[in-house]
Amino acid sequence: MRNGSSRGPLRVLGIDPGLTRCGVGVVDVAADRSAQLVHVGVVRSDTDAPIEERLAVIAAGLRAVLDRHCPDVVAVERVFAQHNRATVMGTAQASGIALLVAGERGIPAATHTPSEVKAAITGYGNADKRQVQTMVARVLRLDELPKPADAADALALALCHAWRGAPATAGANGPLTPAQRAWADAERLARR
């Protein structure tokens, strides 16, 4: 495990859980909240395979990312109510696997709702996927929007978690972004 304290950036693995496609994104975030892309991808499982095999594939893929990138913390999208029960079940199962593999390694894990992530990244809790992808690309200085959407969501989760835990001060790279200011304001209001 790396150390995200004063000795270097915080490395966060964001996981957008899904049974068919599980997005993974690793970012390094400095104390001034500047971020750098380390890895982005998707762990896929075969829709025709039995559920236990699909979950094993997701677990193996997540363990491989943990082994290769040694994150300090794991951030997972919190399961929320949807109309499609099958989708909720698959997402919940993949979320459980993500939390399990973090726990196996003794890596702290946190969950964030989609609206928390949207607010942290764009400053607006009801932002659409394209707005989130655009801000993720801008923050990470990417030439194009991260794809697929599952991978972009994983990067957004990682950034959300890092910014949520980082001090809300301007750093060497200048003032806070609008999303960072909105997040800092929301945290101040929540403490009242």
Q: Which residue numbers are catalytic?
A: 16, 77, 150
Pairing of strands 10-16, 73-77: parallel
**Which amino acid, 62?**
L
Sheet order of strands, 35-44 included: 35-44, 21-29, 10-16, 73-77, 109-112
Quick check: 158 and 36 in contact, CB under 8 A? no
Query: How far, in Å, CA of 110 to CA of 100, rounded?
Result: 12
Pairing of strands 73-77, 21-29: unpaired
Query: How far, in Å, CA of 26 to CA of 38, rounded?
Result: 5
